Structures are given as structure tokens and as C-alpha cells.
Structure 1
């Protein structure tokens, strides 16, 4: 066997940051299924092991750059690292920007060939939203390096849509404006597969969603239909959404206003990415209702 053929069949190694999160777990499973060596970067190895996370568990603290010397020999780093609710005294800037910057610096220093990052779709429409601005600042830093990069921009997860189901369980769904804004949420497993395909293809960016596109009104109807209840829908003026966006930072703490402003901003825009995957939100809602 020649050296070239040995190289061609060599198993590749990926480091996955944010591996214990919803998407991170799917990424670990996807790369293991593809035959990669997976280093799952976790904050607490014992806790991650008890949860059944696969791959080789490597304990790091991404906010502390000195703990990240674990990427030697890796071919790829995929980061799904971020916070949706501020905790442990850390801000979005601390995690969504700086911790990812630490990962990027460590990857570059170790000679990793590609860095992939999970961003959000339509970040440009969400100016002033701290969570998104921290992520966008990191993407801009990533683009300034020489490392090959893929930025994954999902439209939203199935789990996010459970808010519609929960409102329907309460008897009424509230939406803003005429309810005709569109989105195509995606299951975490489908997103992991689409992301891995895009990374392998060397894509610079992947705006990605699931196979089915809904308006907000259609999401409300789906929730009520799943529960087999008549639809009760209240439309709020979109001006109210914009007003709440403006005052939230002044009347609520950061751990409340941060995720709320992201949600309200996303509700005011179409969030439709390339259609990928085979899992359908209707099936997810039925599983939630039936406890499957």
C-alpha cells in the first residue's frame, strides 16, 4: 500500500464544541455514524459520560484559552457552542464570541484544516440583539483568518416550535401581525446531516431549514389540529412587538431580555433556509402529544 492510499483511507478526526447541547449531541452521533474519530469537548466529563454522550470525551473550559490545547491532529472543529440564557455570570459576549474565538485560535495554532460554526439565519435583520451580535462578531473574526470555514445558519429547531404547541394547550395562540411570516424549522438530526454534507462539500455558508415551510398561522393551526381542538388565534399588532423589543433591555434583566429579544426579532422576519431533511414537524408534534 502506498503512502497516498494510506492517507486516503485514514480516519479523520473532528472536535465538536457544545457537544452536550441539543444540536451538539446530534453532531456527535452524525460524525460517529460517518466513521470519524470524534472528540466531544465538554465542560464536565463525568456528567457527559453519565448522559450517554458518544465519542472521546475531552474536558475543556472554552472561556479559558489555556484549557484548549486538545486539537492536535484534528482535521475539523465544529462549534455549536453558545448560550440562549445567560448563566454562571457569563454574557453572550463571553461565550458566543470569546469562547468561540478561543476555540478558533486553538484550532489555527494546531493546524486544523477547517472550522465550522453554527450561527443563526438572517442575523443581519436582528441588529441590537445581544445574542446575535455576539455570534456575528465571531463570524466576522472567523472570516478574517486563513482557516477554511463553513458557517451553518439554521432557521430554527423543532424544539423552538413547541412554544406554539404549549400555547395551544393553554387554549389560545398569540401571533404578531397578519401571521403570514414564514419559516421552515429543522430537526437536530437533519441539521447535523446537512451541516456535515455542507462542510464536506467545502461550502462557505449554509442557510438551512427543514423540508416544510409554514406561516405562523399555519403553525398555530398545526398545533391545534394535533391536539384535536378548535383553533383560537389572537393577532397582536406588529407595532406592539417592535415596542416591546425597544423597552425590554430597560425593564428586564439580561437573562430575560436576551432570549426574548431574539425570539421577538425572529418573529418579525421570514426565516426560510434551504430545505433539507426528512423529518416533519407534524410528526414531532404528534410525538410530543402522544408521549412517543
Structure 2
């Protein structure tokens, strides 16, 4: 039975990865900070490995006998004084070094779609620097670049609840976000097939306008979309780093940059954003 070591196992995607590899017959080792808390949260794994990826010495010996390392490790909001370079780059570099020491045969990394166009964004710069390091390392690699997660689309529902969705430009840029379960299944398939690079999106390619319409439909509200001049997005990108704390400007820079480009790619999976919005709306009734 093959063994997979999953970093970022307690995150949104990591939980799906652990469950999917387990369901497909793998022994799963999950890297966690607190095993008791991870177990209580329902994380599915054969072993909980307590270590800090940002502290290389704590990883020593944790990957012995593993066939595959899958890292979904990264931060979307900077906390504890850690930066994107501390986590998205250095912590993953520490994982890679330990994988090489342990003789692991493949390292898979969850990256981001469109990184080539967003190298100036701090979050993406750190991720791309690690991806470059992984490609150059003497180990087989699989780099998976998702278009975006369903969880990233929550802003559309939040705005629709308030009565209006605000979009930049014409709202015609496209994206096919993917559900965590579908992305986990694709990751298992792609690592098993030995793919080196894959762009992974969900089954439906949608414009931002169409996503807004789905959000309103899920809430049973009339469609009200306000289109702002795209120049405001570009101004915000320049101003935000100067007027907001890093933990706010970092995610905002990524979001605003991604909103300005097409993020559509190859289609995977069967779970549709319409279904996700309907499920979330049913669990969180709109206040009247």
C-alpha cells in the first residue's frame, strides 16, 4: 500500500486530499500542528504528524517510507507575523528538502493558475519561487494550478445578500472554479499518472456576471450588478499596500489582480457552482 504525506492537511483543500487518498487505498500521513484538534475536527488520516513546516528541524524523519508528498501548504491571510515567503516559499522548501533526504519519489504542489501574469503579487511571487525550486530539484514533480476554489466565490454570495454585486469593468472575465472534492480527485489522478504540470478548473466556465447571477438565484433575489470602471481596480492595486496592513493588502492584491484576467482552464469534476451556492444559501438564510 503506497504512503502519502500531506502538508496543509487541516486546510480547506487538505482535508479533501486526505479523505480522497485514503478512499483510494493510500496510507495517509497528515502534517498538523495539533493532532488532538485535527482529529476532533474530523480529519481523516492513518497518522497525524505534529511538526512545524516553517521549522525545518521538526520535519526530520517524518517522511521516512513515504512514496509521495502533496503540499497544499500556504497562507491566504498573514498571521503570527509569518509572511508569504516564510510559508508559501520557505516552509515548502523545508518540506522539499526533507522529501529529498527521505528518498521520496514524487513531490506534488498545489500552485495557482495564472502565476506567470501575477509574479508581481507577493502571494504569487512566493508560490512561483517555490514552484521554480521544485522543478529544478532532483525529484519527480506534479504541479497543480487550480483556477480558484468554490470557497473563493463566497464574496459573490456576500455581496448578493447585501442586495448588489459590484464588479470591475464589464464583468466578462471568465473563471471555472472547482470544488475541493473534485480538485482532490483530480490531484490523486494526476499524481498517479505522473503528470508534471496541470491546470485544473471545475466543470463550468463562467463570467463574473454569470457567477453574480448564480448567487442572486441561490438567494432568490433580483439581479443587481453594478459595474465599476476598471481603472478603480488598478488604482486600488497601487494604493492598498500603502494604506492597509499587510494581512489585508496581501489577499486584496491577489483578488484584485485575478479579477482582471481570465482564469479559465481545463475542466475537471462534476460538482457545479450553482449547487454549491444553493447549499450555502440553504445553510445560511438571508436576513430580511
Q: What band does the TM-score fall into relative to the shorter chain? A: over 0.9
For residue 50 of structure 2, the aligned residue among 48, 51, 59 is 59
Q: How does 1:29-48 map to 2 (within 5 A)?
A: 29-48=19-38
Alignment partners' CA distance in 2, 1:105 and 1:234: 48
Alignment partners' CA distance in 2, 1:149 and 1:243: 38
Conserved 8 A contact 2:35-2:49: yes
Residue in structure 1 matched with residue 150 of structure 2 by the alignment: 158
Q: Deviations over 1:82-136 (max 9, x none)?
A: 0000011100000000000000000001000000000000011113211100000
How far residue 282 of structure 1 moved from its aligned partner, in angstroms, is: 0.6
Aligned residues: 282
Residue in structure 1 matched with residue 191 of structure 2 by the alignment: 199
Alignment partners' CA distance in 2, 1:171 and 1:90: 36
Residue in structure 2 matched with residue 215 of structure 1 by the alignment: 207
How far residue 239 of structure 1 moved from its aligned partner, in angstroms, is: 1.0
Q: How does 1:9-28 map to 2 (within 5 A)?
A: 11-28=1-18
Conserved 8 A contact 1:195-1:206: no
Q: How does 1:110-189 map to 2 (within 5 A)?
A: 110-189=102-181
Residue in structure 1 matched with residue 220 of structure 2 by the alignment: 228
Alignment partners' CA distance in 2, 1:143 and 1:103: 14
- The DSSP-based 3-state class of the residue aligned with 2:222 is coil
5+ long unaligned stretches in structure 2: none
TM-score (norm 2): 0.97
Residue 77 (1) aligns with residue 69 (2):
yes
Divergent runs of 4+, >6 A: none
Residue in structure 1 matched with residue 237 of structure 2 by the alignment: 245
CA RMSD of aligned residues (A): 0.9
Alignment partners' CA distance in 2, 1:148 and 1:238: 41
Alignment partners' CA distance in 1, 2:109 and 2:149: 16
Alignment partners' CA distance in 1, 2:44 and 2:182: 18
- The DSSP-based 3-state class of the residue aligned with 2:30 is strand
5+ long unaligned stretches in structure 1: 1-10
Residue in structure 1 matched with residue 277 of structure 2 by the alignment: 285
Conserved 8 A contact 1:185-1:209: yes
Residue 90 (1) aligns with residue 82 (2):
yes
Alignment partners' CA distance in 2, 1:46 and 1:202: 34
How far residue 228 of structure 1 moved from its aligned partner, in angstroms, is: 1.6
How far residue 46 of structure 1 moved from its aligned partner, in angstroms, is: 1.5
